[in-house]
Structure 1
């Protein structure tokens, strides 16, 4: 996981009005907290922060150069976006130290193709891991190449990067390989559904005649 450096500014104004002014200035209101220290209210550069998320994911390690010469290392904890306009409204940052172990959710990517005639269902898109703050994996890959129908993949089956510890329930089902429906199965389902519609319509017609 690469480290991203951002120049940030302290915030001295609070409230919705102040947050709107911060965003109009091309910055994102943020709060940095952790290790028992008092929360620090910051303004993040919108373009640079969005680029960091796009290129490095939510678990990017951020080195925050605060105006005045102070630097902090942080992870993104929560990103709040506008539900309609989709711009970033607020960010919560977690203060970390180099060498510290942190718990994060890491994307799980299935690679390869299962055996012909199968259908893969992925139940978990991420795994919760404990890892060293400066060595968080960008993603974890698991090959399903050639797996037959009936195969189940649990969290404990995933090989983790060196130094990482699984926090997700080891018995959690993360993916399953089943048999893909055949053309005959689909035709049978259509026939059954159609018969049910005809039967329902017939019952309604009979009820109408009786009344």
Structure 2
């Protein structure tokens, strides 16, 4: 997993008024959850320009977070956007430890050319990310799925997949990808069937 360096400033004023003032200064309020004790939560702020490359990317990062001189390993858990302006309103980070598993969405990459596509079908990726539980050191940047043997009209479901060190949390009957029949493929099948 790639790493991302981020520095935050601690904050003590937590009310609406203080939060509004922070946002006017183009700072984003953020919280780090999951400390040594379950009720630990560290409130801090980051600047919009600092988190831009962390948020607007399909990749996942382990964030080396520095707040008031202390360093934490974390992952970005949740982002709240303004419903109209799409401005970032709030960030939630999760403190990660080497011996505790985390739950994170990992991007899916399809490898190879499916047999069904060669026969005139259309490849459809239904799940762009898979939800996995694993130790953060075992989480890959992307999950690769080989689709070379995927025939026309067939699909790959979550239950058919397994990866070393990863527990898949999506429903086992969720379709990850499929090769759909097109009109041209149906026409060819009808002509060859006669």
Query: What is the aligned partner in structure 1 of residue 143 from structure 2?
Result: 140
Query: What is the aligned partner in structure 2 of residue 60 from structure 1?
Result: 61
User: Which secondary structure state, in structure 2, belongs to the residue aligned with residue 153 of structure 1?
Assistant: strand
Query: What is the aligned partner in structure 1 of residue 158 from structure 2?
Result: 155
Query: What is the aligned partner in structure 2 of residue 87 from structure 1?
Result: 87
Give 1 or 2 for the bigger CA radius of gyration: 1
Q: How does 1:46-57 map to 2 (within 5 A)?
A: 46-54=48-56, 57=59
User: Which secondary structure state, in structure 2, belongs to the residue aligned with residue 182 of structure 1?
Assistant: helix
User: Which secondary structure state, in structure 2, belongs to the residue aligned with residue 77 of structure 1?
Assistant: strand
> What is the deviation of 1:100?
2.4
Query: What is the aligned partner in structure 2 of residue 172 from structure 1?
Result: 174
> What is the deviation of 1:177?
1.4
Match of 1:42 among 35, 39, 44: 44
Query: What is the aligned partner in structure 1 of residue 72 from structure 2?
Result: 72
CA distance in structure 2 between the partners assigned to 1:98 and 1:9 by the alignment: 25
**Structure 2: 5+ residue stretches without partners:** 188-194
User: Which secondary structure state, in structure 2, belongs to the residue aligned with residue 9 of structure 1?
Assistant: strand
Q: How does 1:189-200 map to 2 (within 5 A)?
A: none
> What is the deviation of 1:176?
1.8
Is contact 1:2–1:61 with CA below 8 Å preserved after alignment? yes
Aligned pairs, number: 182
Query: What is the aligned partner in structure 1 of residue 133 from structure 2?
Result: 130
Q: How does 1:106-117 map to 2 (within 5 A)?
A: 106-113=106-113, 114-117=117-120
Query: What is the aligned partner in structure 1 of residue 33 from structure 2?
Result: 33
CA distance in structure 2 between the partners assigned to 1:56 and 1:120 by the alignment: 21
> What is the deviation of 1:159?
4.7
TM-score computed with the length of structure 1 as normaliser: 0.75
Deviation string 1:96-122 (CA, Å, 9 cap, x unpaired) is 112421111112122444223102233
TM-score computed with the length of structure 2 as normaliser: 0.80
Kindly report the root-mean-square deviation, in angstroms, between the aligned alpha carbons of the 2 structures.
Answer: 2.4
Is contact 2:119–2:185 with CA below 8 Å preserved after alignment? no
The structure with more helix, counted as a fraction of residues: 1
Is contact 1:61–1:134 with CA below 8 Å preserved after alignment? no
User: Which secondary structure state, in structure 1, belongs to the residue aligned with residue 75 of structure 2?
Assistant: strand
